[in-house]
């Protein structure tokens, strides 16, 4: 019986009390002390790790369910940064919800903001350094990217919305963005009056202290987009949004993938991503990434990932709402361990998406070299060149192909 099968059996029906136990064959023993069974059931590969796991690899999982959720009149937001997941130094993520009409206050930040719409619809606005403005409505599966320093806003439409934000710095915090109301609060009224050419009384309705800054505020549901558009003397800018839902996926045995990077979404020149969908029983094959760490967000289903570095390996289980992480060039695979589809995002602080497949490497290397290293027979060598129920993303479609 495989380690995976043993782990599933040991953590589901072990003992008279039907509790998961850290037992694999003749190794391990039952738990006698205090325990948290729901968390153990969600993490069978940690409770009863495969025999192939070895050494010490940092924690590579953190769930948004364990993150502090900051509530506001217009919605809420929770974040997973290097404070919650210390290994995640390259990217940070924010899960945000806006009520119908709810507004993420006019703001900007030092980091680029890449976003994936999870549910509902929103209206996004921005301006660029040339004084051109931008407005678009985005729905489920759509993206936007605002480069560092670009001021912008997000507002929920009639059904409200929920989305994932990814920032190109692991130490980013949603609580430290540049808010327009915060700036007004920290500027003398006479300076505001002088700047805008209005009397000081015009600012009587501003927040009185820092605790009253807007951040996520309630608002009226926007009407048709044409009614919100403002004609800018310099004209409009396009390209801050990308409708990934309209991109044709690359279909392969075991699933499909949509890849987006600066080649087909030029505004996202610091973040590349792949939306991966794996069928039950399928897996994202053994591979690694040669450009940067991988930050993951699990949207649907259940997964198991083993990560390899010289002499060490560690396995993790993931569910919807979890964040995963793979350090630079660590080998890994991702297996769909659920009964339904697995959907997740692979995100990188890079201008382009790149991966290296172990299958492809061995299949394109001189056969005698591979045979000498691994003692493969002819049947196994031939199998390296056949299709398998795995997922192997190729390069991102060019802009003209989407």
- Looking at the annotation, which residues are catalytic? 346
What number of CA atoms fall less than 13 Å from residue 111's CA on the CB side? Answer: 22
Tokens of 320: 């919807």
From the list 348, 324, 284, 334, the residue with the least C-alpha distance to 304 is 334
d(CA 145, CA 151): 12
Number of H helices, E strands in the chain: 9, 26
Report helix, strand or coil for 266: coil
DSSP structural state of residue 16: T
The 10 Å Cβ neighbour count of residue 298 is 22
Is the separation of the CB atoms in 182 and 280 below 8 Å?
no
Is the separation of the CB atoms in 328 and 68 below 8 Å?
no
Tokens of 211: 């605790």
From the list 402, 394, 92, the residue with the least C-alpha distance to 242 is 402
Tokens of 141: 């599966």
Spell 70-94 as b/e; 16+ CB within 10 A means b. eebebbbbbbbbbebbebbbbbbbb
- In degrees, rounded to 5, the angle at the alpha carbon of residue 309 between the alpha carbons of residues 308 and 310 is 125
Is the separation of the CB atoms in 367 and 377 below 8 Å?
no
Which whole-number Å values give the CA distances from 354 to 11, 230, 347, 357, in the listed order?
A: 36, 39, 11, 10
Report helix, strand or coil for 172: coil
Strand arrangement of the beta sheet that strand 322-326 belongs to:
61-63, 322-326, 294-300, 342-348, 272-278, 255-260, 250-252
Is the separation of the CB atoms in 172 and 164 below 8 Å?
no
């Amino acid at each position: 019986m495989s380690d995976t099968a043993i782990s599933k059996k040991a953590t589901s029906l072990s003992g008279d009390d039907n509790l998961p136990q850290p037992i694999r064959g003749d190794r391990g023993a039952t738990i006698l002390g205090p325990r948290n069974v729901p968390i153990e059931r969600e993490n069978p590969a940690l409770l009863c790790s495969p025999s192939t796991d070895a050494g010490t690899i940092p924690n590579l999982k953190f769930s948004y369910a364990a993150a502090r959720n900051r509530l506001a009149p217009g919605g809420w937001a929770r974040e997973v940064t290097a404070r919650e997941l210390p290994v995640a130094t390259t990217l940070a993520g924010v899960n945000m919800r806006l009520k119908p009409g709810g507004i993420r206050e006019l703001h900007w930040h030092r980091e680029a903001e890449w976003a994936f719409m999870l549910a509902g619809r929103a209206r996004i606005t921005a301006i660029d350094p040339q004084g051109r403005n931008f407005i678009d409505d985005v729905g489920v599966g759509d993206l936007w990217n605002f480069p560092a320093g670009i001021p912008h806003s997000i507002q929920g439409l009639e059904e409200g919305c929920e989305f994932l934000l990814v920032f190109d710095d692991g130490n980013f915090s949603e609580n430290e963005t540049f808010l327009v109301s915060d700036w007004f609060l920290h500027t003398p009224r006479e300076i505001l009056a002088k700047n805008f050419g209005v009397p000081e009384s015009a600012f009587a309705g501003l927040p009185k202290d820092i605790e009253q800054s807007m951040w996520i505020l309630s608002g009226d549901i926007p009407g048709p987009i044409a009614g919100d558009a403002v004609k800018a003397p310099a004209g409009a800018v396009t390209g801050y949004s990308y409708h990934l839902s309209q991109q044709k996926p690359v279909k392969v045995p075991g699933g499909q993938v949509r890849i987006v990077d600066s080649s087909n979404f030029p505004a996202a020149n610091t973040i590349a991503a792949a939306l991966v969908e794996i069928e039950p029983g399928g897996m994202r094959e053994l591979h690694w990434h040669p450009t940067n760490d991988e930050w993951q967000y699990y949207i649907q289903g259940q997964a198991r990932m083993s990560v390899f570095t010289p002499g060490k390996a560690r396995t993790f289980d993931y569910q919807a709402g979890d964040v995963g992480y793979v350090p630079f060039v660590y080998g890994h695979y991702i297996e769909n361990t659920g009964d339904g589809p697995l959907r997740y995002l692979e995100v990188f602080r890079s201008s382009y998406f790149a991966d290296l497949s172990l299958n492809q490497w061995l299949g394109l290397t001189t056969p005698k070299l591979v045979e000498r290293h691994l003692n493969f027979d002819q049947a196994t060598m031939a199998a390296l060149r056949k299709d398998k129920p795995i997922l192997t993303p190729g390069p991102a479609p060019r802009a003209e192909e989407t």
